[in-house]
Chains A and B, each alone.
Chain A
Amino acid sequence: MRLYRYLVTQKAEGVLDIIPAYTSLTVVYDPLLLSRKYPGRSPYGMMQNWLQQSVAHMDHVPEQAARRMEIPVCYDRSLAPDMDTLADMHRLSVEEVIHLHTVTIYRVYMIGFLPGFAYMGSVQEKLITPRKATPRTRVPAGSVGIAGEQTGIYPLDSPGGWQLIGQTPLQLFDVQQANPCLLQPGDEVQFYPVSLAEFQKLKKP
């Protein structure tokens, strides 16, 4: 994540995308732009050099503090179709599941699958739950789920196989915004419970 932030600040020539994931960082670059500008040099070689230099240099750059996001979640049964099954599976009460899900400060390791879908981890050991055997054909936007050690929020209505334990009234993806995605890689996220009445009040019409 440190390397990711350092690379982003450099705005290097020819670089189109820098994509962090759990244990990797991917750089997408424009080989034509680089070979036009630096004839005779290998664009791949140039990228390799840049990355090696950046890795060597990044320790001298102060680490940026992660952004902390607090996200309201309503764990009401009407919005949490898998809550009872998940609680039963782990021999926990619904209150305990909510407590365990909200005490942890998660990190956004990667965004993928859908625009703005943040893969966050890791959930408390007692909440680790496999994906559903048969994915749902439609999960409503805002649904909060668990898959293995990960927790995440569906930014859009979509098919999905995560175990759904609640819903946030916040809009994770807003096509109108200059930065359409609420969460970014590296963010710290903590959930807090809200009642159904609060959920409805917070939800944009």
Chain B
Amino acid sequence: MSIRVQKPGLLDTLQDRGRYGYQQSGINPGGAMDRLAMRVANMLVGNDPGTAVLEMHFPAAVLLFETTTLIALSGADFSPEMEGREVPLHQPVLVNRGTVLQCKKQRKGARTYLAVAGGFESAEWLHSASTQLQVKAGGFAGRALQKQDSLLLKKPQPYPFPEPSQGFVTLPWRADMNGLYQDGPVRCIAGNELDNLDNPSRQLLTDAVFQITRGSDRMGYRLQGPELHTNLAGELVSTAVTRGTIQLLPNGQLIVLMADHQTTGGYPRLGHVTSADLPVLAQKQAGEEFGLQLVSVSEAEKILREQEMNLQQLQNACNFRLDQYSGSRSFIKT
């Protein structure tokens, strides 16, 4: 019951919804950068939505399945392949023992998510399986995957499917991702110091294009754009910051805090990326450009509700298809 790492990727870590309840102690929540992809991958294999998944960057790990497993990939398209055949994203795939998964090239997106039916065995730390690299806790031994690691899978699920004679078979349905990731400007709500921007900067914030720079990672995205200025003199008193907070650095450039952000900060907070658009941002890579759009809190809530409705429908459809296909409820954990 395991998956063997034949070759590690750039950064492959187990992640779930994150570790909440400890930010007052300086412990950041972490968790999957793209929670939407995590959820979709999980629903395709019949897992609870917050089951830990493997988050992979490019190049991704080369993985040997040492046991027959139902999997799903969602998020970035790294052109995954098994036995020379392309593996579709957003679709449940039954993988035969002895098959190797590898990702050929980075077509679109920054992070891909692998879910396995039943979930991975993982070290829980403070009620979360998310890997916390700084203190080496949670996930797989508190670290990114290395060569020859053996990822254990939770107890076998009864597979009512015919075992593939070789390689893999895809089950005949696919999650419809339409409308889940929007293409337009990244939407954000106003931050406390937005009104401290001078007039030209205020205009530029929503008119200009910002590019994600090389120094961007799970902690935050540093952006390159026109220099913005505020009327603030001296340093601000530090406050808590959160995932999606857009801060103005002393050099006039922006940083957007992501999953592994510090819990407090003292730079002006111009805005906060809406929860619905955090997955969109999580899939953008260094070099990509985007604009910002300010929306009201009620608009942000509406967007999130609509996204959630889509996800719920998808969840119901996946449950139904899995049920129908397997003819047994025992497959799906309730």
- Asked if A173 lies at the interface with its beta carbon under 8 angstroms from chain B, I say yes
1/0 per position for A38-54, CB-CB distance to B under 8 A? 00001110000000000
Asked if A31 contacts B301 (CB within 8 A), the reply is yes
Asked if B237 contacts A22 (CB within 8 A), the reply is yes
Chain B residues near A17 (CB, 8 Å)? 20-24, 29
Complexed CA–CA distance, A115 and B128 (Å) = 16
Complexed CA–CA distance, A36 and B298 (Å) = 16
Task: List the one stretch of A71-79, A81-89, A179-187 in contact with chain B.
Answer: A179-187
1/0 per position for B235-246, CB-CB distance to A under 8 A? 001111010000
Complexed CA–CA distance, A114 and B25 (Å) = 9
Complexed CA–CA distance, A17 and B301 (Å) = 19
Which chain B residue shows the least CB distance to A158?
A: B134
Chain B residues near A137 (CB, 8 Å)? none
Task: List the one stretch of A62-70, A91-99, A105-113 in contact with chain B.
Answer: A105-113
Asked if B134 contacts A19 (CB within 8 A), the reply is no
- Asked if B198 lies at the interface with its beta carbon under 8 angstroms from chain A, I say no
Chain B residues near A31 (CB, 8 Å)? 275, 301, 304
Which chain A residue shows the least CB distance to B135?
A: A175
1/0 per position for B116-152, CB-CB distance to A under 8 A? 0000000001100000001111000000000000000
- Asked if B262 lies at the interface with its beta carbon under 8 angstroms from chain A, I say yes
Asked if A32 contacts B304 (CB within 8 A), the reply is yes
Complexed CA–CA distance, A22 and B308 (Å) = 36
Instruction: State which residues 76-122 of B face A: CB under 8 Å.
Output: none
Asked if B263 contacts A19 (CB within 8 A), the reply is yes
Asked if A115 contacts B237 (CB within 8 A), the reply is no
Complexed CA–CA distance, A28 and B241 (Å) = 10
Chain B residues near A112 (CB, 8 Å)? 26, 238, 240, 262-265
Chain A residues near B218 (CB, 8 Å)? none
- Asked if B153 lies at the interface with its beta carbon under 8 angstroms from chain A, I say no
Which chain A residue shows the least CB distance to B235?
A: A148
- Asked if A191 lies at the interface with its beta carbon under 8 angstroms from chain B, I say no
Chain A residues near B265 (CB, 8 Å)? 112
1/0 per position for B290-305, CB-CB distance to A under 8 A? 0000000110010011
Chain A residues near B237 (CB, 8 Å)? 21-24
- Asked if A26 lies at the interface with its beta carbon under 8 angstroms from chain B, I say yes
- Asked if A162 lies at the interface with its beta carbon under 8 angstroms from chain B, I say no
Instruction: State which residues 284-325 of B face A: CB under 8 Å.
Output: 297-298, 301, 304-305, 308
Chain A residues near B24 (CB, 8 Å)? 4, 17-20, 111, 184-185
| B331 CB → nearest A CB, Å | 25
Residue pairs across A and B with Cβ atoms less than 8 A apart, 6 shown, are A4-B24, A24-B237, A31-B301, A32-B304, A173-B135, A185-B24
Q: Which residues of A contact B (CB under 8 A)?
A: 4, 16-24, 26, 28, 31-32, 35-36, 42-44, 110-117, 119, 156, 173, 175, 179-181, 184-185
Q: Which residues of B contact A (CB under 8 A)?
A: 20-29, 125-126, 134-137, 237-240, 242, 262-265, 275, 297-298, 301, 304-305, 308
Which 9 residue pairs are nearest across A and B when measured between Cβ atoms? A112-B264, A26-B240, A19-B240, A16-B20, A17-B23, A181-B25, A111-B26, A24-B239, A115-B27
